[in-house]
Structure formats: C-alpha cells, structure tokens
Amino acid sequence: MLLTCVRMEHKKLRHSHLWLVFLVIPLIPTIMGTGNYLQNLGLLKSEWYSLWTQCSLFYSNFFYGPLIGLYCAYIWRVEHLNHNWNQLMTMPVPVWEVFLGKLCLALECTVFLQLWVWVLFYAAGKIAGLHGMPPFEILIWLLRGSIGGMGIAALQLLLAMIIRSFAVPIALALLGSIIGFLLSNGGYGLFWPYSLMLMGMNANKDTDMVGDLMGFGISTAVFLLLFAAAGIWYLNKKDITAS
C-alpha cells in the first residue's frame, strides 16, 4: 500500500513546475562557487576539495533547506486546494501510509537534487580545468547531506501540512537554515535539524565536519522519527478543514 501511495504522489506532481526549480536553482551556487574558486586560485590549492568548499558554501548554508521546504509545500499544496483534504481522508488508506508516502517522495526529491548538484559540481570542475574525477568522498558527503536533510523533510512536511499557505513553510525553512548555520558554527549543530544537512555535506570545509558519525546518525534518526510521528499523530487526531 505504501508503494501505491508513493506512486500516487508521483502522479500528483505531474505537470507541476517542480523540475524547473530542481534544475535551475542549484546552477546559481555552482556558478558562484566556481567563479569564487577561479578568482582565488592562489589561495585555494586543494583542487576538487577547494572547489567543493566554494560550491557548497552558499548552497548548503542558505538554500538546500528552503528547496526541501519548497518540495514539501508543493506536495501538500495539492491537498490544500479544491477540497482534496476530504477526499484524502476518506480514502481506504491508513493515515501513516499517506504521510510516509509523501515523506518518501520528499526524500526522493532531495536525493535526486544532491545527485544533480554532483553532476553540476563535476561539470564546474571540468570547466575550471581540474583533472580526473572528483573524489568519491564528495559524493558521500552529498548523500550524507540528504540523510541530514531527512529530518528537515519530515519537519517541513509537518509544517506544510499544518500551515495552509504555500509560502510560509518555505520562509520558515530559510529562517531554520540560517539559525542552523549559526548553531553549527557554535558547535551545537547536532541539536538542530537544519544544521545536520550542512554538517553532512561538509559545507565550506575540506576536512570532515562530522567527527562523531554515531552522534550524527542518532540525531538525524531522532529528528526524523520525532517529526514523522508528530505528523502521523496530527493526521490521526486533528479534524481536517478543507478550504
């Protein structure tokens, strides 16, 4: 049933302009980062790693969170419109599967986004004249960023479900990301979901930011379970209002 839910969610996203956002927005930090790298070649000598510090700087600190927020807001938007809530809640499907179906889709979007960022990063490296392939470690960092992003996806889904506006959850994601940036600089990253993604991605660092992989994993799992459980509880307990 869960797989059917995921398939249905896929159908709901058809003909949306989500792909446009997916393709275009990550282009800008890549261009910015590559430009910055080329201007500071005298200082940045670790080749692919240096390019990574520049490309990941703005993308992960400020924009990955709002992009996840945008996906999640869109996933719920279809339910907020045209009385679809009524239909959704009368389907013979347990609500936890409805929520997890949407969560799976959000996670899928974030993983594909990271892979697209890797493709852009590779192209940028080639344009910048770097030899060979990027270190495999960077792909791991990107995917680890998606794992860090899982807690954000669950939280954003919860927010987008409760807040009926499309724009507000995205604005909250930007606020959360910036607080995450400040907290991770202060060493409190493990306690804030929005910091986990930039720690996982090793944003603006060429050495590993996640010293304690166990702590990172536990923190991500706790946030993911907490927000997913809150979302399912909310769907179970609260009366829905269809506009």
Partner 1 sequence: MWREWKTEWMKVRYRKIGLIVMAFFGLIILWVCWILSRNDTEMMEDGYQLLFMNLPLIDTILMPTMIAMLGSRLCDAEVKGDTLKLLCTMEKKGRLFDMKVLTGAVYLAVFVVLQVVQIFLTGRLYGFPGTAKPVWYVYFVLQVYTVSMLILLLQTVLSFFYENQILPLAAGLFGSFVGLFSWFFPSGHPLKYLFLWAYYSELCFMGQDWDRVTRISTFYDVPFQFPVLGLVLMLLLAGYLVGKQLFLRKEI
Q: Which residues contribute to the site for partner 1 (CB under 8 A)?
A: 16-18, 20-21, 24-25, 28-29, 31-32, 35-36, 39, 58, 62-63, 66-67, 70, 73-74, 77, 81, 165-168, 170-172, 174-175, 178-179, 182, 185, 243
CB of 187 to partner 1, least distance (A): 13
Residue 120, class by beta-carbon neighbours within 10 Å (0-12 exposed, 13-18 middle, 19+ buried)?
buried
CB of 40 to partner 1, least distance (A): 11
**Pair of tokens at residue 67:** 């992009």
Q: Which is nearer to partner 1, 100 or 198 (CB)?
A: 198
- The Cβ-side half-sphere exposure at 38, using a 13 Å CA radius, reads 13
Q: What value, to the nearest 5°, has the Cα angle with vertex 65 and ends 63 and 18?
A: 80
CB of 43 to partner 1, least distance (A): 9
3-state class (DSSP) for residue 231: helix
CB of 166 to partner 1, least distance (A): 4
Q: Which is nearer to partner 1, 21 or 229 (CB)?
A: 21
Q: Are 104 and 11 in contact (CB under 8 A)?
A: no
CB of 137 to partner 1, least distance (A): 26
DSSP 203: T
Q: Which is nearer to partner 1, 165 or 236 (CB)?
A: 165
Q: Which is nearer to partner 1, 55 or 100 (CB)?
A: 55
Contacts 24+ apart (CB under 8 A), 76-80: 76/102, 76/157, 76/160, 76/161, 77/160, 77/166, 78/12, 80/164, 80/166, 80/243
**Pair of tokens at residue 53:** 């510090």
Distance CA 69, CA 173 (A): 6
**Pair of tokens at residue 146:** 């998606």
Q: Which is nearer to partner 1, 145 or 232 (CB)?
A: 145
3-state class (DSSP) for residue 180: helix
Q: Which is nearer to partner 1, 71 or 99 (CB)?
A: 71
CB of 200 to partner 1, least distance (A): 21
DSSP 65: H
Q: Which is nearer to partner 1, 39 or 236 (CB)?
A: 39
- Number of neighbours of residue 24 by Cβ within 10 angstroms: 9
CB of 127 to partner 1, least distance (A): 17
